Amino acid sequence: MMEFFMSPTFWKTVLASTTPVMMATLAANIMTKSGIFNLAIEGTMLICALTGVIASAYSQNLWVGCMVAVLMGVFISFVFGYFALIMKGAMNACGVAVNLIGTGGTVFVLVMLTGSKANSSALTSLTFPVINIPGLQNIPVIGTILSGQNMVTYIGWVIVALTSWMLYKTKLGINIRAVGENPAAAKAAGINVLFHQFVALAICGVACSFGGMYLSMGALKSFTTGMVAGRGYMALAMDAMSQGNPIIGCLSSLLYGFSDTITVYLQLYSQMDLKLIDAFPYLFIIVVLVIIQAIRGMIAKRKERLASLSQAA
């Protein structure tokens, strides 16, 4: 068992499994910072996963497929924003609506184009390549883990770093955070609240699109019905752990990648029911989230006690 966990291949798989959740978590982080609760991450990823496959199959150009999927992600996010922010619809209801459209709509389009409800194997779609980094790939252990990942994984790391820099080091990011913390005060200060929320929605759409494309054009070579499999909802848990911080969110998503990779070991060496094994990553994340929230609660109570004691003194 220890050999399994100490293997560089295990940790390489952890990073690979982390990628779609990392992108979904980034989408949730930027939404939290802008004061929007977006349940539509799951559906947006699913729609973009299929869109990228279709666009790359018909154009026979990977980057055309990528661009169309990104534009679709931004479009879906803007549709959500229109109904939730401009039409003042309930954000929860708008998010659920997008997810339902994603679940049913992808199956409808899949059947219309391929005649299959299961997958897009009938379409000759293109996939993102695996990148071997010169020099790094020759370093023992570290090279095995970090080199040879899918291109989307590296793109994801860059997007996370750029988004974190934007949020904390630029005027645009400061304005987005101000809008999320207190929209009324931001508006009084002359900040266009709606504009900055839609900028955040655009970033959310881009992140969702790469998360979806990784599943259908990176980890696999075709789209499969329901392939997002709750990762969009798991991102909300990762966002709660990271409290909207993209870097911490990226690190938190490693927990999902770790637990998802453990399921491979459980499938090979345990006698557990397969359905229970499939549920393990989600159960693991829920337990970790409960523990983290409990620790935060204890720390908050301790600070309150210390504050009351200092006031009494």
Render 163-207 in DSSP notation, one character per residue. Answer: HHHHHHHSHHHHHHHHHHH-HHHHHHTT--HHHHHHHHHHHHHHH
Its pTM stands at 0.93
Q: How many angstroms separate the CA atoms of 49 and 20, rounded?
A: 11
Domain extents in the chain = 2-312
Q: How many angstroms separate the CA atoms of 260 and 278, rounded?
A: 8
Reported as a single tens digit per residue, the pLDDT across 52-107 is: 999 999 999 999 999 999 999 999 999 999 999 999 999 999 999 999 999 999 99
Q: How many angstroms separate the CA atoms of 112 and 117, rounded?
A: 9
Closest to 30 in 3D by CA, of 216, 187, 205, 186: 205
The answer to whether 218 and 151 are in contact (CB under 8 A) is: yes
Q: List the chain pLDDT tens, one digit each, 313 residues.
A: 667 778 888 899 999 999 999 999 999 999 999 999 999 999 999 999 999 999 999 999 999 999 999 999 999 999 999 999 999 999 999 999 999 999 999 999 999 999 999 899 999 899 999 999 888 888 888 998 999 999 999 999 999 999 999 999 999 999 999 999 999 999 999 999 999 999 999 999 999 999 999 999 999 999 999 999 999 999 999 999 998 999 999 999 999 999 999 988 888 777 888 888 888 888 898 899 889 889 988 998 888 888 787 777 6
Q: Give 149's strand partners.
A: 131
The pair of structure tokens assigned to 121 is 């194997």
For residue 291, which phi and psi values (nearest 5 degrees)?
A: -65, -45
Instruction: Considering the domain delimited by 2-312, tell me its CATH architecture.
Output: Orthogonal Bundle (1.10)
Cα angle for residues 157, 137, 152 (degrees, 5° grid) = 30
